[in-house]
Copies of this chain bind each other. A is one copy, B any other.
Amino acid sequence: MGEALDLPRNEDGIAAAAGILKQRFGEKFQTGQSVREQHGHTTTWIVNQAPDAVVFAQSTEDVAAIVRVCAEHKVPVIGYGTGTSLEGQVNAPAGGICVDLSEMSQIVAVHPEDLDCVVQPGVTREQLNTYLRDKGLFFPIDPGANASLGGMTATRASGTNAVRYGTMKDNVLALEVVLPSGEIIRTATRAKKSSAGYDLTRLMVGAEGTLGIITQITLKLQGIPEAMSSARCSFETVDAACQAVMATIQYGVPVARIELLDEKSVEAANTYSGLDLPISPLLLLEFHGSEASVAEQAEIFGEIAGDVGGSGFEWTTKAEDRNKLWQARHDMYWATLALRPGAKGISTDVCVPISRLAECVTAAQDKAAELGLLAPIVGHVGDGNFHALPLIDMENPDEVAAGAAFISWLNDLAISMDGTCTGEHGIGQGKKPYLRRELGGAVSVMEAIKAAIDPDDIMNPGKIVG
Residues of A within 8 A of B (CB): 111-116, 155-158, 162, 166-167, 169-170, 179, 183-200, 202-203, 205-207, 211, 222-223, 225-226, 246, 249-252, 254, 289-290, 292-293, 296, 349, 351-355, 383-385, 414-415, 418-427, 431, 435, 438-443, 445-446, 448-453, 464-465
Contacts and interface: CB of A to CB of B under 8 A. Distances in A.
B200 A446 contact: yes
Select the residue from A193, A205, A385 with max chain B CB neighbours within 10 A: A193
B202 A223 contact: no
A426 to B, nearest CB: 4
Contacts of A465: 197
Nearest to A114: B353
A431 B254 CA distance: 38
Nearest to A168: B195
Contacts of A222: 252
6 contacts: A115-B250, A185-B442, A191-B353, A191-B384, A200-B442, A448-B453
Nearest to A162: B193
Given A197-B427, A445-B453, 9 more contacts: A111-B355, A113-B250, A192-B354, A195-B422, A195-B426, A197-B206, A197-B439, A202-B203, A292-B296
Contact of A187 (B167, B194, B439): B439
Contacts of A206: 195, 197-199
The 9 closest A-B pairs by CB, nearest first: A202-B202, A452-B452, A191-B351, A113-B355, A194-B420, A185-B442, A190-B418, A191-B420, A195-B426
A251 B112 CA distance: 11
B115 A249 contact: yes
A240 to B, nearest CB: 15
Nearest to A436: B197
B198 A464 contact: yes
B188 A439 contact: yes
Nearest to A156: B195
Contact of A205 (B114, B162, B199): B199
A423 B190 contact: no
Nearest to A293: B293
A203 B199 contact: yes
